[in-house]
Amino acid sequence: MKKIKKTYSILENAALPTNQQKGKMLNHILLEYRKYEASPAERIFRLITVYPWRFAFGLSAVQAVLCTIIWGTAYTNMVFKVFGG
């Protein structure tokens, strides 16, 4: 029974990474993070290219709010007339 436990503990310890391997993994992760670090403009561009429908919907919502603030309900009524509402 002791032999089986000893063999199991040897196999378990052999599967764990050494300190050198841990250091290599950490360096690799940090290198990949630095490679993909983006400026705010790049983040916005990536967001627009990945989710174009979100950008279009957001821009449309901002445009509708601004036009309604500027021209009031006349703008909303005009949009409804154009689109058959």
Residue-range domain boundaries for the chain? 1-37, 39-85
SS3 for 17-55, per residue? CCHHHHHHHHHHHHHHHHHCCCCHHHHHHHHHHHCHHHH
11 vs 49 pLDDT, higher one = 49
Dig out the tokens for 38 from the structure: 């983006």
pTM passes above 0.95: no
13 vs 76 pLDDT, higher one = 76
Question: Is residue 10's pLDDT more than 80?
Answer: no
Question: Is residue 85's pLDDT more than 70?
Answer: no
At a CB cut-off of 8 Å and minimum separation 6, what does 47 contact? Answer: 54, 55
Dig out the tokens for 14 from the structure: 């052999």
Percent of residues, the chain, with pLDDT higher than 90 = 12
25-38 tens-digit pLDDT: 888 888 877 667 77
Q: How many residues does the chain have?
A: 85
Dig out the tokens for 11 from the structure: 């196999």
